[in-house]
Amino acid sequence: MACVKMIHSLYEDGCEGSPSSPIRFKGQDYEQLKESLLSKGRKFEDKTFPANLDSLGKLENLSPKQLKEVEWLRPHDLNPDSSFIEDGTSRFDFKQGNVGNCWFLSSIGAMTLHKELVAAVVPRDQSFQDNYAGIFHFRFWRFGKWVDVVIDDFLPTRNKEPVSVSSRSQKEFWAPLLEKAYAKVCGSYGDMIAGNPPEAFKDFGGGVHMNYKLYEDTSDLWDVMDRAIQSKTMMGCGAFTGDKGKDICKRFGLVDGHVFAVTGVKRLEIDGNSINLVRIWNPWGEKEWTGDWSDKSATWKAVGEEDRNECLNKRNDGEFWMSMKDFCTYFEEMDICCESPNFICGDEGEWNCSLKEGRWEEGASAGGCDSQSEEFWTNPQFRLTVKGGEEEETDRERQTEEESEGTKNVLLSLLQRPDEEHRSKLKYHYIGFTIFKVPDKAPRGRLPQSLFLEEWPLKVSEFKKSRELIEFHTLEPGEYLIIPSTYDPHKTGGFIITIYSKAETDIE
């Protein structure tokens, strides 16, 4: 099982932003609000996210006329027998509605495979029966801190049918309310349209995210997925867009440009040969793969009865199996988010995790990526000390040069934190890292401009225009200077830098 030890983080348990003491989103205190409502016999109406068109936002699947027909109703108005959770949480509890947020709903489906993750995001002390006051709350990991988001339970409907995600049983409402809480964080339901699973994965608990392009070399990907599925891991995949995506959709029943959850892997033995299968779920709750290993495929006849009964489910629930080969052929990319990097390398050892917050400010601390420029030294600086004992030194001496180069012991993550409140208006910079080896006798504190004019960087990362940049590195014991920066100078924005390390480290 993966193991991560948090050190030097933004918070310790009990401090503001920790799991036990989350930050109150919009300053709203769930317990105090609920107690006040119960004492007055009232139901909550959230003035910070009111039941109106502004909170609904622009929905591409609804015309202006249809938007005006939207009526906000509480769950009891839709079903007098409403419940928050029945028999646990499952990806089969809900299906996508008229909001194009398959990336978010597929991520919820992946999260439900791990009850610990669900418990962190969806507090269970909520009900439509006991002490009901029309108020609910959910928790998200937002840029290194846990945030508690309070909502009322008014849901957007047309003709008493949910506009957005709906309950398959028509009585269980944890998923529609969770979606509303995330819409509030994003600015509106419309602000949730279009995205990628890693964004929601991170907001469901942080962790390490890796992206895999399935059209590239995937020879070791099955092993990575097999290791990942055994840990607290969320996986998602994206279908091709354009003409290729439409052709695949027409031939095999998939949805072009759509995001799915990866919910399982299985190795089967057939006539002495093994075949690797991948299980995938469509958040629409329907529209499944029709090729080999689909629900009605004849390929299942070659499988033993025990494996067939375990895997095969002929319901139209959006979930299906396909071979690893077809998965890498008919899907474009896959994302994995896990508590620790162990799923990548197969090492079950402990990782240290250091998390720090920083900011680039135009004219003050946004020096760009050119280490020879006069402004570069103004960028935020993080000094990392990688420690190593005698045992580690001996192990390194035994390694060949090739083995040593392949031993990645430090993972760096740079996560942008834009200032814009509405998700659809976010603009990300090109970001990356520059790493220097700190010279002997270097002064403490910030290193001066002269160092960067005299020393060449040890490593320079790729610069990407993305929400998060992640890179693995091999760093020998010693002291390093890590400088996160935007590609161009004079860019303003916040960031979170996270360092996972196999060796003992100090960061300042």
Which residues are known catalytic residues? Answer: 102, 258, 282
Distance CA 330, CA 152 (A): 41
Residue 146 contacts residue 17 (beta carbons within 8 Å): yes
- What distance lies between CA 109 and its chain's CA centroid? 12
For the four alpha carbons of 362, 366, 368 and 374, in that order, the dihedral sign comes to positive
Interatomic CA distance for residues 163 and 66, integer angstroms: 10
- For 321-363, the DSSP string reads EEEHHHHHHHEEEEEEEESSTHHHH---SEEEEEEEEEEE-TT
Residue in this structure with the two tokens 């002291």, named with its chain if needed: 479
Which residues of 339-445 form beta strands (DSSP E)?
A: 350-360, 382-386, 410-417, 430-437
How far is Cα 498 from Cα 485, in angstroms, rounded to an integer? Answer: 14
Strand order in the sheet with 3-7: 3-7, 350-360, 493-501, 410-417, 468-473
Q: Which residues contact 72 (CB under 8 A, 6 or more apart)?
A: 51, 52, 154, 155, 156, 157
In terms of Cα–Cα distance, which of 433, 178, 499, 221 is closest to 336?
221
Q: Are 203 and 70 in contact (CB under 8 A)?
A: no
Rounded Cα distance between 147 and 163, Å, is 26
The answer to whether the CB of 86 falls within 8 A of the CB of 172 is yes
- What is the token pair recorded at 290? 């029709």
DSSP state for residue 83 in the 8-state scheme: B
Residue given tokens 């760009």 in the structure block: 368
Q: Is 350 left (phi over 0), alpha (psi -120 to 50) or beta?
A: beta
